Amino acid sequence: MKRLDTRCGPGQLRELAAGGMILLSGPVLAFRDRAHRRMAEMLKRGDRLPFDLSGAAVFYAAPTPAPPGRVCGSVGPTTAMRMDPFTPPLVGAGVRIFIGKGPRSPRVSRLLAESGAVYLAAAGGVAALGGCRVERCGAAGWEDLGAEAVYSMVLRDYPVFVALDTRGGNIFGKGASVESPEPC
């Protein structure tokens, strides 16, 4: 199992292969549908965002409130395909890593491969465990969206699979395989 920092360079992303398991660490911007839609609309108009997407990792998630002694509550992925209509402007703004659950459309799969970006799939249904992999969490913008605001998070060894690699490999396509994770 490989470890990957979200601040890695393009060369490290090219080394990833669909089906590989990764322990992901580093800063991510976490948001869901409403923030994604707002971001895409602003980018389309040429407006400046309140955060930098150049080289960013985006996690389609929204943390729940933090229980005592923790930086956040549960953090699990949401379905990425819902974000597909809004993905091209984010790729154009420099996002290199997308994290969510489920497959992406063929259009987005091609776009990510052509741009050197990757899509990492996180397991659904284990959000409580995911919250344990967050070292820092705070609002990064658009608090008016409530639970769907943009959050700045720092992950530590968050388990994900390489779902779409830079060469067009796709774990959701025919013939794809996934490594078995090591036991905890």
Q: What's this model's pTM, rounded to 2 decimal places?
A: 0.91
Closest CA to 96 of 7, 159, 173, 24: 7
Q: Domain spans of the chain?
A: 22-155
Helices of type H across 18-174? 33-45, 87-92, 106-115, 127-131
Q: What is the CATH number of domain 22-155?
A: 3.20.130.10
Q: Report the Cα–Cα distance between both ends of the chain, in Å, rounded.
A: 12
What does DSSP assign to residue 79?
Answer: B
| Per-residue tens of pLDDT for the chain, all 184 residues | 899 999 999 999 999 999 999 999 999 999 999 999 999 899 989 999 999 999 999 999 988 888 898 999 889 899 999 999 999 999 999 999 999 999 999 999 999 999 999 999 998 878 888 888 899 999 999 999 988 899 999 999 999 999 999 999 999 975 444 444 443 3
Other beta carbons less than 10 A from residue 30's beta carbon:
26
Are 87 and 58 in contact by the 8 Å Cβ rule? The answer is: no
